[in-house]
Amino acid sequence: MMKALLNSFVYAFNGLVYAFKTQLNFKIHCVAALLIVALGWWVGLSNTEWPLIVIAIGLVIVAELFNTGIEVLVDLVSPQQHPKAGAVKDIAAAAVLISAIIALAIALFIFVPKFV
């Protein structure tokens, strides 16, 4: 039982590595997350601002991971071009876009007043 639990963490880590190695957008989101965390430390975010930033970053990273998983699955089950396969990929990408817009809005609400 303990081995199965440990394996589940290994599999999850493998998923992160796969996404980082194969997905440019995942890398971009990771770099953006690091920059936002650094900026947060630099401006001295409060104890109420940090959770909002962490949730925003997490939202985007999780959306990007789901998007990657969906793309891999669609490519597996539909290796040839198909309009519905394309729609599935586009919808998953739209979820990442919406999560990124939400994260940007949160970041603007938190960081802009610190520079104005």
Catalytic residue positions? Answer: 64
Alpha-carbon gap, residue 41 to 52, rounded angstroms? 14
14, burial (CB in 10 Å: exposed 0-12, middle 13-18, buried 19+):
exposed
Backbone angles phi, psi at 47, to 5 degrees: -65, -20
